[in-house]
Structure 1
Amino acid sequence: MSKYKLFLLRHGEGAWNKENRFCSWVDQKLSEDGVKEAQDCGRLLREQGYKFDIVFTSILSRSIQTAWLVLEAMGQEWVPVVKSWRLNERHYGSLIGLNRAEMALQHGEEKVKLWRRSYDMTPPPIDESHPYFLEIYNDRRYTTCDVPIENLPRAESLKEVLDRLLPYWDSTVVPEIKKGRTVLISAHGNSCRALLKHLEGISDEDIASVTLPTGIPVLLELDENLSPVKPRQLLGDQAKIQAAIKKVEDQGKKSNKK
């Protein structure tokens, strides 16, 4: 029997989502379409009668901005928003800033798919020669983390995302859910996928085929042990959702190159 409701949300489209580039820890605002996605998501949740008690985001602007827009559209701006780097997008290392379709031409679609979707493959690490290294590691937001900047990731597999996310989930998010509060996690494709893998017991192989489109809320109904009691629900127009999933899956294909 369902005891708790948890909502996961991949942020609305960002500027680099539109350009099909690995954004990762580079801070980006939402695109115009991304703003609309977040607002539409909030309106949908309001129409369906949902009310949030607390929202968790990463410390990247596109995650926070999405949460704000959703809450505004729901008329729930007062709901607390709690931020942590542990909900950040996966760190794509030296791939940050590169175009996925161009990489598929260069390295092959299968290699790019492994880098993007596999569970335990870590891309090459970022180093100080990378054009975005200083922009990330000189950013004041990372002085707020619960680990020193020099100990923050330089690249991550999905497994490593889950490893850094789980302590926060267990210590901070779970207690809120167990108080009976309705929680929204407004985060990123990979931090949400990592959490789904944990909650749903998805295998290392099968997680590669789990795709979350931007701006689509995912409802999980959980029992008292936080195990799902029914399959996850992607809320909204199902035909549009399937089209959005295909769009994400096509990002790593050569034909996407403009």
Structure 2
Amino acid sequence: MDHLLVLVRHGQSEWNLKNLFTGWKDPDLTEKGVAEARAAGVKLKALGIRFDVAFTSALSRAQKTCALILEEIGQPELPVIEDQALNERDYGDLTGLNKDDARERWGEEQVHIWRRSFDVPPPGGESLKGTAERVLPYFRAHILPRVERGDRVLVAAHGNSLRALVMELEGLSGEEILKRELATGAPIIYRLDASGAVIDKKDLAA
């Protein structure tokens, strides 16, 4: 039986384009982001991949990416489960700030620590560790069981919520996952065995 899990980071958003910390705010996709999402669907369709269920966050940039992918592969009516457990990392007081402005306010070193340490949260926000503590229980309770029983599952979410899933699937440390960049609109295809262990991985950004 084919145990298939496909992760896709949403296409470029308006705030990605403006170099702003986005977090739980809800900007739309740019034209480029729409094109990236459609291209992801085209790539998956070319591989003959179809899904039994999709999961996405409570944020529209991920929901729209999910819908565009499903439209391209000819499954626009597929059940989609939305949950804020899959939302992007909450950047707290950094949310909405230009990354250059944040560096001017708090200093380059401090902003780098907030962005690139595993367990140091920005003021009022989440660390990547905190994000994982929100994402992974949901993954283990709701997504992984579907994969293990043989459903082909799509997860359209965000850079940091997906980092948490990649860390879990690939057995990476906090330091290792921080170095992993996830391209927008680039599917990562995992094939798992019945126990949830990864057999094979294909990154369509490569």
- TM > 0.5 between the two? yes
Indicate if the aligned counterparts of 2:94 and 2:102 stay in contact, CA closer than 8 A.
Answer: no
Q: Tell me the distance in 2 between the aligned counterparts of 1:218 and 1:157.
A: 23
Q: Tell me the distance in 1 between the aligned counterparts of 2:43 and 2:100.
A: 32
Within the alignment, does 1:157 sit opposite 2:157 as a pair? no
Within the alignment, does 1:22 sit opposite 2:21 as a pair? yes
The offset of 1:98, in angstroms, is 0.9
Deviates more, 1:183-192 or 1:163-172: 163-172
Indicate if the aligned counterparts of 2:9 and 2:159 stay in contact, CA closer than 8 A.
Answer: yes
Looking at secondary structure, tell me which structure has more strand per residue. Answer: 2
CA RMSD of aligned residues (A): 1.6
The offset of 1:117, in angstroms, is 2.8
**Counterpart in the other structure of 1:180:** 150
Q: How does 1:1-258 map to 2 (within 5 A)?
A: 4-125=3-124, 155-230=125-200, 232-236=201-205, 238=206
Deviates more, 1:109-118 or 1:48-57: 109-118
The offset of 1:179, in angstroms, is 1.8
**Counterpart in the other structure of 1:140:** none
Runs of 4+ that moved beyond 6 A:
none
SS at match of 2:21: coil
Alpha carbons of structure 1 residues 41 and 120: separation in structure 2 relative to 1, 3 Å: same
The offset of 1:233, in angstroms, is 2.3
Deviations 1:168-210 (A, max 9, x none): 1122112211220110100000000011111211112111101
Indicate if the aligned counterparts of 1:35 and 1:66 stay in contact, CA closer than 8 A.
Answer: yes
Indicate if the aligned counterparts of 1:9 and 1:218 stay in contact, CA closer than 8 A.
Answer: yes
Deviations 1:84-125 (A, max 9, x none): 000000000000011113334554544333212321111101
SS at match of 1:229: strand
Indicate if the aligned counterparts of 1:53 and 1:182 stay in contact, CA closer than 8 A.
Answer: yes
The offset of 1:224, in angstroms, is 2.3
Q: Tell me the distance in 2 between the aligned counterparts of 1:113 and 1:194.
A: 19
The offset of 1:64, in angstroms, is 0.3
Indicate if the aligned counterparts of 1:117 and 1:207 stay in contact, CA closer than 8 A.
Answer: no
Structure 2 residue ranges without an equivalent (≥5):
none
Deviates more, 1:202-211 or 1:83-92: 202-211
Matched residue type, 2:139: W
SS at match of 1:205: helix
**Counterpart in the other structure of 1:129:** none
SS at match of 2:50: coil
Percent identical across equivalent pairs?
A: 44
Q: Tell me the distance in 1 between the aligned counterparts of 2:144 and 2:13.
A: 29
Q: Tell me the distance in 2 between the aligned counterparts of 1:55 and 1:124.
A: 33
Larger Rg: 1
